[in-house]
Amino acid sequence: MFPSSSPRSLFSSSILSWVLLLLSLPILASTTPPRWIGSASHFRSKHKPPHQNGGFHYAGTGLAGTQSPRTHYHYWRLEWRWLAPDGYGRPVITVNGIFPPPVLIADEGDTVIVDIENALGNQTTSIHWHGQYQRGSNNMDGVGGVTQCPIPPGGSFHYEWKAAPSGTHWWHSHYGEQYPDGLRGLMVIREKGGDERRKSRLQVDVEYVWSVSDW
């Protein structure tokens, strides 16, 4: 049996709780709000991509492997499609109607922006950028229910972070069984200014990245 509290101690605890709440209000007011965009239609009208190529976009100067940091912009509409990648039809989550999803490629220190539109219709979602440090951008980590509210059906979310560390990583849904249903992809963060040097050291002309999983 737990010991009971006296009325005086309960009153003191209540006063202390209110004092702590009032002291925390300035901190809460100064906190950056989550990057909710709103409805899908509002999202599309307010966030038009600077360049367009099948739904995958790039904004900035220079090519991959250059020294100066750049900004990579992607607009992803997530929706179900009936596909048969292995010859047997089943519902698959696609990005802009495409499966397998895109590979994110950037140099270390670049800014990566991915605007997500959830057109799944029956499920919430979030996207986790696996292996990324997210220093100063914890709310972009994409873990639904931990670092952000899940993106509801018909909703959208603006992800933006600095690419680090370099290496071969992957991005994936952080909700339910969505990544086995197709919502996953590769993410290659190249060493700053080291792409050509690495190819020369390995004596290769082209690099390919493969993703293998159970279906």
Q: What is the pLDDT of residues 169-198, one digit of tens each?
A: 999 999 988 999 999 999 999 887 666 666
Structure confidence at residue 67 (pLDDT):
59
Domain boundaries, the chain: 40-202
Structure confidence at residue 113 (pLDDT):
97
Please provide the CATH number assigned to the domain covering 40-202: 2.60.40.420
Note the pLDDT tens digit of each residue in 116-165.
999 999 999 999 999 999 999 999 999 999 999 999 999 999 999 999 99
10 Å CB burial of residue 40 (0-12, 13-18, 19+) is middle
Percentage of the residues of the chain whose pLDDT score is greater than 70: 66
pTM more than 0.75: no
Structure confidence at residue 16 (pLDDT):
54
